[in-house]
Structure 1
Amino acid sequence: MKMYNRIKYKGEMLASEHLMDIFHLNVLQEYDWNTTFKFIKKGTNVNRFVTNALDNEIRTYKINNFIKELPKYEILFKRGNNAIITEACIRCYNRTNNHNVPENWDHMWECTSNEYTEEKIMFNALMELENEFKNNTIKMKPLKHVTVEYITLMNQTSKILISENTGRHALKFRELAKGLYNNQLNKIGRTEAKKEMVKVIWERNYLNIREKILYGYRDVQKL
């Protein structure tokens, strides 16, 4: 029964309307699905058979974020939550002429009221790691080697993701925010140490986006 429920859940997740874009255009082979799904399943503990409250929280966030089911006003309004009378972003409501800026998944990252941008968070993540590895030559060397290529790639336009709000292709930062590991990341660095460092940067970047943008957006409300 557990196996049946697990398969059913995975099937429902993959059939989500919010994943239609990435699977419909999968012919482009943009993403490393093995790395992507391993990351989504992983909490904070290296042993996936050992879990704690933080592990469960992180995993739940990753799954809900991947299928765009975070508790934003657009979803709560459509569900008929009595306390929600509009799908508009409450922070943009009095700051724009258009009072109907929907608080959808893309808007959470694009909102001009955000204290941090995706790009600023990337640079902060790199500086954090540089500070952590300053006395560790083995890790500092690959970090220095892959940084420029990583920054360049993240600033490129995604071939798949299109913002619901602008109608334009988002930058690869948005793939990162969603948890999609782009295949181009695997081409950065020729050694295993450098390739592993790219994943370290990417994961730190992802978690910092969650903390700096989403928690700031929700006034540090746990999801």
Structure 2
Amino acid sequence: MDSKSYKMKFIDEVMSFDEFNLYWKKILISGGLRAWRKKCSELIWKNEMLNSSKVEDLFYYNYKDEFDWNKTLQFISNRNIYTSWEIEKDDVWERSYKIKNFLKDLPTYEVLYKRDVNKIETDQCIRCKNGVEDWDHLWICETNELTIKEVLELSISKFEESLLKEEKHEKIKFLQNINFSFLKILYEKSEVLLGKEKYWELIRGVYNRKFNTLSKIKMRKKLLTSFGVFVSMR
């Protein structure tokens, strides 16, 4: 019987189970809190993300400068919520999700199959068995309990409930006044993602500049940003 020998190499820093590990262009970004926060704030890191081939679809037709990239990067890095060095474990995993979601690199069967992950023999959706399970399919699979629009509308109610618990009645009133306008923007055709509505931008974590037109008051603009984050994470 023939036998083969293979050389194996262990990378110590990868083997250490840290809060968050991410490979970026063959460079390991470890889960060390300070290192991660530094990477989030470095211009080089941001440029690498925005120049990634995985987000070319967000730039190809973006001649009208539709997106507010500052707010988008705040979404992804959670800088709109956390300002100190102390970050809870849930926040770290939320960051991981946001980055992979933005890059359409969530562990779908398409992604796992391409990476040749052990025992993944097909890229087809195992729920509906009707097509490749890629990032888009996750949102439109016929076996989903809710449609994207139903999720968005339910998110608005849940956000208002969270404000009600904190007794922020003035903010609730503002949101109720702009709910229709907010949804109207979401249901418009995207100027960048051809053939899709603007809500496809938001669920990917991209903030459209049109939301900035809903209020000129700084405090309310911050509320809109938080509202957008909440809806995009549902």
Superposition TM-score tier, normalisation by shorter sequence? 0.7 to 0.9
- 1:59-86: CA deviations, max 9, x gaps? 1111111111111111111112231111
The aligned runs of 1:119-130 (5 Å cut-off) are: 119-130=149-160
What is the RMSD computed on CA atoms of the aligned residues?
2.5
Q: Which moved more, 1:74-83 or 1:128-137?
A: 128-137
Residue aligned with 2:191, SS: strand
CA displacement at 1:153 relative to structure 2:
0.8
The aligned runs of 1:84-163 (5 Å cut-off) are: 84-93=120-129, 96=130, 101-134=131-164, 135-162=167-194
Q: Give the 3 Å change call, closer, same or farther, for CA 198–44 of structure 1 in structure 2.
A: closer
Q: 5+ residue gaps in structure 1?
A: 163-168, 209-223
Letter in 2 for 1:203: V
Asked if the contact 2:71/2:225 (under 8 Å) is kept, the reply is no
1: CA distance between counterparts of 2:198 and 2:232?
12
The aligned runs of 1:158-177 (5 Å cut-off) are: 158-162=190-194, 169-177=195-203
2: CA distance between counterparts of 1:43 and 1:195?
15
1: CA distance between counterparts of 2:92 and 2:73?
16
Say if 2:59 is the partner of 1:23. Answer: yes
Compute the TM-score of the two structures, normalised by the length of structure 2: 0.74
CA displacement at 1:199 relative to structure 2:
2.0
Residue aligned with 1:85, SS: coil
The aligned runs of 1:76-87 (5 Å cut-off) are: 76-87=112-123
Say if 2:199 is the partner of 1:205. Answer: no
Q: Which moved more, 1:72-81 or 1:35-44?
A: 35-44
Residue aligned with 1:171, SS: coil
What is the match of residue 86 of structure 2? 50
Asked if the contact 2:80/2:226 (under 8 Å) is kept, the reply is no
Q: Give the 3 Å change call, closer, same or farther, for CA 107–183 of structure 1 in structure 2.
A: same
Q: 5+ residue gaps in structure 2?
A: 1-34
CA displacement at 1:128 relative to structure 2:
1.8
- 1:147-198: CA deviations, max 9, x gaps? 1100111111111124xxxxxx211111111100000010113433433332
The structure that has the greater radius of gyration is 2
Letter in 2 for 1:54: D
CA displacement at 1:136 relative to structure 2:
3.3
CA displacement at 1:201 relative to structure 2:
2.2
Higher helix share: 1
CA displacement at 1:7 relative to structure 2:
6.5
Letter in 2 for 1:58: E
Asked if the contact 1:143/1:194 (under 8 Å) is kept, the reply is no
Letter in 2 for 1:119: K
